[in-house]
């Protein structure tokens, strides 16, 4: 009986001592600064466009909420996206912005549920966001974005 009690107590002690320490924050912050100089390949038509990407990511629901602001574009935006790719490389689109204001300055917001691969790419800094215009069809302003 004593041995059984000791085994139970030892098991409880081990279970308590081995409790997982979850250091993943409840919400992670998304950030990036848009500039024409960050585009890869380089812009075809010079631009003084700027912008910012902000937002949050909830690891438990895998929901990304984002806001992109931009100004000073050479023309109205024709598209905007999140792409796979690091600071030196371009990659495939995985989130398209739903709508963009028909103006050289504006704000777009949205949400997306990420896959595990997309979330990992954000965490590793292998995601960028950009805004395209007719003058710079490959992208006019770009932000390499990170989750922290």
Largest CA distance in the chain: 84
Residue 148 pLDDT > 80, yes or no?
yes
Give 67 or 11, the one with higher predicted confidence: 67
- Note the pLDDT of residue 17: 47
Residue 16 pLDDT > 50, yes or no?
no
Residue 50 pLDDT > 90, yes or no?
yes
Cite the beta strand spans of 1-148 per DSSP E. Answer: 28-35, 50-58, 63-71, 77-84, 93-96, 106-113, 127-133, 141-147
CA 129, CA 41: separation in Å to the nearest integer? Answer: 14
Q: 86 lies in which domain range?
A: 26-147
Percent of the chain at pLDDT > 70 equals 83
Which run of H or E residues covers position 123?
Answer: helix 116-124
Residue 65, domain member (yes or no): yes
**Number of domains the chain contains:** 1
Give 83 or 2, the one with higher predicted confidence: 83
CATH code for the domain in which residue 72 is found: 2.60.40.200
Residue 9, domain member (yes or no): no
Give 13 or 103, the one with higher predicted confidence: 103
The stretch 99-120 carries a mean pLDDT of 96
Residue 135 pLDDT > 50, yes or no?
yes
Residue 39, domain member (yes or no): yes
Query: 2-36: buried (b, 16+ CB within 10 Å) or exposed (e) per residue?
Result: eeeeeeeeeeeeeeeeeeeeeeeeeebebebebbb
pTM comes to 0.82
CA 57, CA 12: separation in Å to the nearest integer? Answer: 36
Residue 11 pLDDT > 90, yes or no?
no
């Amino acid at each position: 009986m004593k041995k059984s009690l000791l085994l139970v107590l030892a098991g409880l002690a081990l279970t308590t001592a081995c409790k997982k320490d979850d250091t993943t924050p409840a919400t992670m912050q998304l950030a990036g600064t848009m500039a024409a100089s960050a585009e890869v390949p380089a812009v075809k038509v010079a631009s003084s466009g700027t912008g910012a990407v902000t937002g949050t990511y909830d690891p438990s629901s895998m929901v990304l909420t984002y806001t992109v602001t931009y100004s000073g574009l050479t023309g109205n935006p024709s598209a905007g996206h999140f792409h796979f790719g690091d600071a030196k490389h371009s990659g495939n689109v995985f989130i398209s912005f739903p709508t963009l204001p028909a103006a050289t300055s504006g704000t777009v917001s949205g949400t997306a549920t990420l896959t595990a691969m997309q979330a990992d790419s954000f965490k590793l800094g292998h995601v960028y966001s950009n805004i395209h215009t007719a003058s710079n069809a490959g992208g006019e302003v770009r932000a390499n974005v990170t989750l922290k």
